[in-house]
Amino acid sequence: MVMCVLDYIMIKAANLKRLPIYSHSTFNLRVKTIIDDSQVVPLIRWLKHNVVSYPRIAKLILMARGKLESIRDFVKWLKSVHVKGEFLRVVMLNTGENILQRNHQELDEIVLYSESNVVRKD
């Protein structure tokens, strides 16, 4: 999975060469630009702070499909429905592949359904 993240960064950096502003820049500079623009480093630090392993961070990044902010949004939503800190990692990684693409309204409906039929709120 880590290789897929690296492949994604390398492909994006190679595509930057098509833009006139980057046409004469080095590949390393383009890679650095992609990494800086994506804000992936602060996200990785934040996830590590929340005790998520590097392979699982890679899985989350791949699940985000280029929309890294969806990871933070999902965690903020989980906290808003009272998911405790130690369970955040478990919920993030054990949900389906498309969970990061769902909007908050859909997620709220799932929680309401679960609370009314199966799951206790505490």
pLDDT at 121 over 70: no
Rg (CA), the chain: 17
Segments making up each domain of the chain, as ranges: 1-38, 39-122
Q: How confident is the model over 71-104, as pLDDT tens digits?
A: 888 888 888 888 776 777 777 777 766 777 788 8
pTM here? Answer: 0.65
- The CA-atom distances, in angstroms, between 44 and each of 28, 35, 51, 60, 79 are 20, 11, 11, 10, 19
What band does 1 get if pLDDT is binned at 50, 70 and 90?
Answer: low
Q: How far is CA 61 from the centre of its chain?
A: 4
pLDDT in tens, 29-72: 999 998 898 888 888 888 888 777 888 888 888 888 778 888 88
